[in-house]
Homo-oligomer: A and B are copies of this chain.
Amino acid sequence: MGRVTADIAVSLDLVATGHDQSEEHPFGPHVGHRLHTWMFDHADDSPDEIAAILGARAYVMGRNMFDPHRGDWVSEWQGWWGPEPPYHAPVFVLCSRPREPLEMQGGTTFHFVTEGPEQALALAREAAGDGDVSIAGGPTTLDAYLAAGAVDELRLHVVPFTVGEGLRVFDRVPDLAMVPVAARTTPHVTHLTYRRA
């Protein structure tokens, strides 16, 4: 069986997304795109880390990572990533309202799971076979899996500025212990890898 990994980009003060998410501002207007410029503007600095993010064979994400809307589904919304999302694998979206699976180009199919995090992970494990499952975020979803002791390898990508507001990783996980196994920095991002204790 593969591992459960998780990648998340955070500010120096551990913010993974700002308030006031909207279709125009996936991470809120204050945070903007600043947590992810290292992946796009400076991709040559972090080729291995970027490849690892997309190396899983199934993904789990929270609804807010898929969708800026709340409540009932807006049926035309197909995620932030255009017709061919970068996952190229099944993606299990945690949500409270049922929705039919959404098949995109390039092998990504979004499955909408209303039975909770444990069931979403079980479905993702089954879909991944002997490959890894990745918890793709956001911070609330990641913390739920950290609290359950389900994450084998956590990869934090720390961007060197503070935000001062928003949703942080670890805020819902007091008394978590992990083992650091790697740390590497570029001028734009610091990559920290932790394993389950």
A160 shortest CB reach to chain B, Å: 5
Q: Please, what's the 1-or-0 string for A150-166, where 1 marks a CB less than 8 Å from any CB in chain B?
A: 00000000101111110
Q: Smallest CB-CB separation from A143: which chain B residue?
A: B162
Is the CB of A174 closer than 8 A to any CB of chain B? yes
Within 8 A of B (CB), among A174-197: 174-187, 189-192, 194, 197
A12 at the interface (CB under 8 A from B): yes
Contact string against B for A residues 7-50, beta-carbon threshold 8 Å, 1 for contact and 0 otherwise? 00000111000000000000000000000000000000000000
The complex is assembled from copies of this chain, and their number is 2
Q: Are A12 and B190 in contact (CB under 8 A)?
A: no
- A164–B174 Cα distance when bound, in Å, is 4
**Chain B proximity of A32: nearest CB distance (Å):** 12
Bound complex: CA A175 to CA B158 (Å)? 15
> Is A145's CB within 8 Å of the partner chain B?
no
Q: Is the CB of B14 within 8 A of A171?
A: no
Q: Apart from A12-B176, A164-B173, what are 14 other A-B pairs with CB-CB below 8 Å?
A: A12-B170, A13-B14, A158-B180, A158-B192, A160-B179, A160-B194, A161-B176, A162-B170, A162-B174, A179-B187, A180-B187, A182-B185, A183-B183, A190-B192
7 closest A-B pairs by CB: A164-B174, A183-B183, A183-B185, A13-B170, A180-B185, A162-B176, A161-B177
